[in-house]
Amino acid sequence: MKKNVLIMSTSHYPNGDAAAVRQHMLAKLLMSNDYSVSIVGINSEPKIVDGEYDSVKYTIFPNNQLYLKKYLISYLNKLDQKPDVIFLNGLPMPAFIYIKNYALDYNILLFHDCVEWYSYEQWRGFWYFDVLMFIVYIQKNIMNRLILNRAFSIISISSYLHDYFTKKNLSSLLLPVIMDKDQFNNLFPQSNNKLRIIYAGSPLRKDYLMEIIQGLLCLDLAERDNIEFTIIGLDYQNLSKICDLSVNELFELKCIQVLGKIPRIKVLEHLNCCDFSILIRSSTARYAKAGFPTKVVESLMSSTPVICNMTSDLGMYLKDGYDCIEVTDETPDAIVKALRRALALTPEQKDQMKKNARKTAEENFDYRLYIEEFGKFIKNES
């Protein structure tokens, strides 16, 4: 009889955010090891939604942090059979502690998929949004330092987190961002003399989009004429606030196209048609060391190499000039040099880098590569 696994998180399952993609890949690993999986998540709808996605049953609750613990208690009480394993991911602290104690009371195995550790610099400020995020920062500190103890086995997304938990004598498995290669198109349109670059996401204070724009503006007008830079995830007004340019000034930059928020499937289509994606993050902040950029793996899976600096564990997988163009640091000057290297590539060289990007993704980030190791870890055989 299959053992039952319950993944409880605040991801917008099944495909509303990067966390949802991560939860689904965990489900695929578990199912590949003969477990039955159910997922609990949240969404923006005011009602509870039950469904099934790619053979995974899910229940989605309204995104109300005050009532989430109540929802989860009700959900557990209605289960016909208690789960054998619970994965806790990203729950508010009261709900997290309740589910932890519930699992211990009923001798249920506990796992935590740790994918981030915020930095203070991300959230400091005095306006409402920053206050809320600062609370999240404090909670994550307490979570990683105190609440995650030997009751848990840890899935660590980066070597930074893996080393931290291992030094605390906690059982940890290093598992980077993983995806299903079959869900991505491995074909791409041929390159031409234009340099097509894309950024997709919500930069907040993680991604250095302002520095990217500044680097772009440092190029000569003739160089900018050969660039098509697509920005997805924010509109002109939000971009204006980030890069300190007026909306009219942004409109006048003919090399920039701003598309706003679009469905993930459309994002992947745009990725697949570009020569490079671009991602710059802090080289020193803890959030960049502890996390692992989902954007990079999505790009590589889409046969699109990356212009990036080597944060997190990227240096373990990427090779400058092969599947990426390395940016030496997060300054506009370093970004300019990287953009000029990309501009100097011939269409044939860009197409070869696209093939290399897909090869890197298949060799390092397809979930099938980790089925056996993950199974041994879950069954405590490693």
Q: Does the residue 280 lie in any domain?
A: yes
SS3 176: coil
Same domain, 105 and 203: no
The token duo for 264 is 């993930």
Question: Is 60 exceeded by the pLDDT of residue 216?
Answer: yes
User: Cβ–Cβ contacts within 10 Å for residue 53, how many?
Assistant: 14
Q: Does the residue 138 lie in any domain?
A: no
Average pLDDT over residues 162-173: 97
Decide: 124 and 134 in contact? Cβ < 8 Å. yes
Q: Does the residue 122 lie in any domain?
A: no
- Taking only the tens place, the pLDDT of each residue in 250-279 is 888 889 999 999 988 999 999 999 999 999
HSE-CB for 274 with a 13 A CA cutoff: 31
- Taking only the tens place, the pLDDT of each residue in 285-302 is 999 999 999 999 999 999
pLDDT for 43: 80
pLDDT for 128: 47
Same domain, 67 and 212: no
pLDDT for 281: 95
Domains in the chain: how many in total?
2
Question: Is 80 exceeded by the pLDDT of residue 175?
Answer: yes
Same domain, 163 and 25: yes
Give the distance from CA 349 to its chain's centroid.
28
Q: What is the CATH number of the domain that holds 344?
A: 3.40.50.2000
The token duo for 270 is 């745009």
Q: Does the residue 126 lie in any domain?
A: no
Same domain, 162 and 44: yes
Question: Is 60 exceeded by the pLDDT of residue 126?
Answer: no
Q: Does the residue 187 lie in any domain?
A: yes
Q: Does the residue 119 lie in any domain?
A: no
pLDDT for 57: 94
Same domain, 187 and 304: yes
Closest C-alpha to 160, from 183, 176, 138:
176
Strand ranges inside 49-121, DSSP E: 49-53, 56-62, 85-89, 109-114
Q: Does the residue 254 lie in any domain?
A: yes
The token duo for 158 is 């980066």
Same domain, 355 and 248: yes
pLDDT, averaged across the chain: 92
Which residues pair with residue 198 across a beta bridge? 230, 277
pLDDT for 37: 96
What predicted TM-score, i.e. pTM, was given to this entire model? Answer: 0.93
Same domain, 55 and 109: yes
Average pLDDT over residues 170-179: 98
Q: What DSSP element (H or E) covers 71?
A: helix 65-77
Average pLDDT over residues 309-316: 97
pLDDT for 47: 86
List for the chain the helix, strand, coil content (%; round to 5).
45, 20, 35
pLDDT for 205: 72
pLDDT for 35: 96
Same domain, 228 and 314: yes
Structural domain boundaries enclosing 256: 182-364
pLDDT for 331: 94
Average pLDDT over residues 361-365: 98
b/e sequence 190-208, b meaning 16+ C-beta within 10 Å? ebeeebbbbbbbebebbbb
Closest C-alpha to 338, from 325, 355, 356:
325
Same domain, 171 and 195: no
Structure-model confidence comparison of residues 201 and 359, the more confident one: 359
Same domain, 330 and 357: yes
Same domain, 195 and 319: yes
Structure-model confidence comparison of residues 272 and 381, the more confident one: 272
Average pLDDT over residues 311-338: 97
HSE-CB for 55 with a 13 A CA cutoff: 11
- Rounded to whole angstroms, how far apart are CA atoms 318 and 291? 16
Would you say how long the chain is, in residues? 382
pLDDT for 158: 98
Same domain, 192 and 84: no
Q: Does the residue 302 lie in any domain?
A: yes
